[in-house]
Amino acid sequence: MPRGNTRPVKRKHFSTSVDISLLDTLEELSQETRINKSKLVDEALELLFEKHDKPIVETTTE
């Protein structure tokens, strides 16, 4: 289950390439829900890690 806002989120920019259809669908979902794409990608990654039983590495806050 997505962790939502249960932890402080540190942001880091990264670049990758994705299937154009996935990106277009992400854009549509972002516009429809008014949730920014970064938050939607966070949720998708959290679900992926959960599916693979991979705990999220907690970073220290400094």
Instruction: Write the pLDDT tens digit of every residue in 32-52.
Output: 999 999 999 999 999 999 999
CA atoms within 13 A on the CB side of 11: 4
Single pTM value for the model: 0.78
Does 1 have pLDDT greater than 60?
no
- Cα–Cα distance, 58 to 39 (Å, whole number): 17
Measured at the CA of 27, the angle between CA 24 and CA 39, to 5 degrees, comes to: 130
CA atoms within 13 A on the CB side of 57: 1
Q: What confidence tens digit (pLDDT) does each residue in 15-37 have?
A: 999 999 999 999 999 999 999 99
pLDDT of residue 51: 98
Q: Are 38 and 44 in contact (CB under 8 A)?
A: no
Question: If residue 32 lies in a helix (H) or strand (E), which one and from where to where?
Answer: helix 20-33
